[in-house]
């Protein structure tokens, strides 16, 4: 087995005349906490959409642990253990926080219609385990006291925490985090970074898109810079910081 969890070749996606994503080749390493940065419109979220099945690429291949997942459906990719979050935080609004957690845990490998109608004793035990695990994670994330609140009642930051909790309850192999710090106050941002580092240490491969450059530089082992859909730098944080291409890409976009 190679040490790459995700491999992308010749991945292309255009909207009209604009090339949103145009990546020749990219391999992501299992033990490296990797971040993608880039100016607005660089194609970061589109790249996430392409590898998580939310958009179909025009061209190219995506491999997840050597399995071809090009143009696979999002739910199938999720079942393979690659779980993503969204830039605009999504939660199940009309479920409680606990229901959000338990729902995300219970369905992945077991959604046959008959089983859904009849609860066998073994499922009851299973349900109790899931409940315990949900509480464990909520405790770690400090949202345990909100367990019975409806998710729509949470603040933006709490929703971010719930989204994280929801994504990890199934023990994913890979987490794709789309701006986990967006709109979060500095103190909570610190906490979330801490959580992400912990997850990485527990062996979950993490790929993160984030605008907060300082945070990215602090926790990432590898930083990929996208601009106009292309990889313009791919290196350690220190080297990316001083890369000419990166500096001009960022300054260029600010001048526009």
Partner 1 sequence: MIEQLGNGLLLGIIIAVASVALSLLYGVTRIVNFAHGEIIALGAIATLFLSSPIDSRVLFLDRFSPLGNNFYLSVLISVLFCGLFGGILEFFLFRPLRKAEVGNIAVLVVTIGLSLFLRHIYLLLNAKPQNFPLELQRRQTYLFFDMTPRNFRVLILGIIVMVLVGLLLNYTKIGKAMRAVRDSNDLASVSGINSDNIILFTWISSSMLAGLAGVFQATINDVRYNMGFLILLLIFAGTVLGGIGTSFGAMVGGFIIGIVVNVSVGLPFMEGHTEAKNAIALAIMIIILLFRPQGIFGEKERLS
Q: How far is CA 34 from CA 8, 20, 79, 91, 206, in A?
A: 15, 21, 22, 25, 6
Task: Decide if residue 52 touches partner 1 (CB under 8 A).
Answer: yes
Task: Decide if residue 107 touches partner 1 (CB under 8 A).
Answer: yes
* Nearer of residues 35 and 52 to partner 1, judged by Cβ: 52
How far, in Å, CA of 159 to CA of 162, rounded? 5
Q: Taking the complex as a whole, how short is the minimal distance between the CB of residue 107 and partner 1, in angstroms?
A: 5
Contact residue for partner 1 among 104, 200, 205, 212 (CB under 8 A)? 104
Stretch that binds partner 1, among 37-45, 57-65, 85-93, 208-216 (CB under 8 A): 85-93
Task: Decide if residue 55 touches partner 1 (CB under 8 A).
Answer: no
Q: How far is CA 256 from CA 40, 42, 213, 249, in A?
A: 11, 14, 20, 11
Task: Decide if residue 94 touches partner 1 (CB under 8 A).
Answer: yes
* Nearer of residues 90 and 139 to partner 1, judged by Cβ: 90
Contact residue for partner 1 among 35, 65, 72, 106 (CB under 8 A)? 106
Q: At what angle do helices 97-106 and 121-141 cross, to 10 degrees?
A: 130
Task: Decide if residue 86 touches partner 1 (CB under 8 A).
Answer: yes
How far, in Å, CA of 5 to CA of 117, rounded? 36
Q: Are 125 and 177 in contact (CB under 8 A)?
A: no
**Closest C-alpha to 74, from 66, 60, 88, 85:** 85
Task: Decide if residue 156 touches partner 1 (CB under 8 A).
Answer: yes
Interface mask toward partner 1 for 111-130; x: CB under 8 A: x-x-xxx-------------
Q: Taking the complex as a whole, how short is the minimal distance between the CB of residue 242 and partner 1, in angstroms?
A: 36
Task: Decide if residue 166 touches partner 1 (CB under 8 A).
Answer: yes
Contact residue for partner 1 among 3, 155, 185, 236 (CB under 8 A)? 155
Q: Taking the complex as a whole, how short is the minimal distance between the CB of residue 230 and partner 1, in angstroms?
A: 27
Task: Decide if residue 67 touches partner 1 (CB under 8 A).
Answer: no
Stretch that binds partner 1, among 8-16, 103-111, 200-208, 219-227 (CB under 8 A): 103-111
User: Which helix or strand (DSSP H or E) is residue 18 part of?
Assistant: strand 18-29
Task: Decide if residue 72 touches partner 1 (CB under 8 A).
Answer: no
**Closest C-alpha to 92, from 186, 174, 24, 159:** 159
Q: Are 103 and 91 in contact (CB under 8 A)?
A: no
Residue 214 token pair: 């300082």
**Closest C-alpha to 143, from 188, 185, 206:** 188
Residue 144 token pair: 């345990």
Task: Decide if residue 154 touches partner 1 (CB under 8 A).
Answer: yes
Give the interface with partner 1 as residue ranges (CB under 8 A).
52-54, 73-75, 78-79, 83-86, 90-95, 99, 103-104, 106-111, 113, 115-117, 150, 152-156, 166-167, 170
């Amino acid at each position: 087995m190679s040490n790459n969890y995700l491999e992308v070749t010749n991945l292309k996606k255009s909207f009209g005349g604009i090339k949103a994503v145009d990546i020749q080749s990219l391999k992501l390493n299992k033990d490296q906490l990797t971040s993608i940065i880039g100016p607005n419109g660089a194609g970061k979220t589109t790249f996430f959409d392409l590898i998580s099945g939310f958009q179909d690429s025009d061209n190219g291949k995506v491999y997840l642990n050597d399995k071809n997942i090009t143009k696979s459906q999002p739910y199938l990719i999720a079942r393979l253990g690659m779980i993503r979050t969204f830039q605009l935080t999504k939660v199940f609004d009309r479920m409680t926080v606990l229901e959000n957690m338990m729902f995300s845990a219970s369905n992945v490998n077991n959604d046959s219609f008959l089983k859904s109608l009849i609860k066998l004793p073994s499922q009851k035990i299973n349900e109790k385990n899931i409940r315990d695990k949900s509480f464990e994670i909520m405790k770690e994330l400090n949202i345990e006291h909100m367990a019975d609140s409806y998710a729509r009642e949470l603040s933006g930051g709490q929703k971010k925490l719930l989204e994280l909790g929801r994504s990890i309850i199934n023990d994913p192999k890979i987490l794709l985090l789309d701006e986990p710090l967006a709109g979060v106050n500095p103190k909570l941002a610190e906490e979330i970074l801490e959580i992400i580092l912990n997850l990485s240490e527990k062996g979950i491969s993490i790929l993160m898109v984030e605008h907060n450059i300082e945070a990215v530089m602090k926790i990432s082992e590898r930083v990929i810079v996208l601009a106009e859909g292309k990889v313009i730098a791919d290196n350690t944080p220190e080297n990316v910081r001083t890369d000419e291409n990166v500096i001009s890409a960022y300054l260029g976009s600010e001048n526009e």
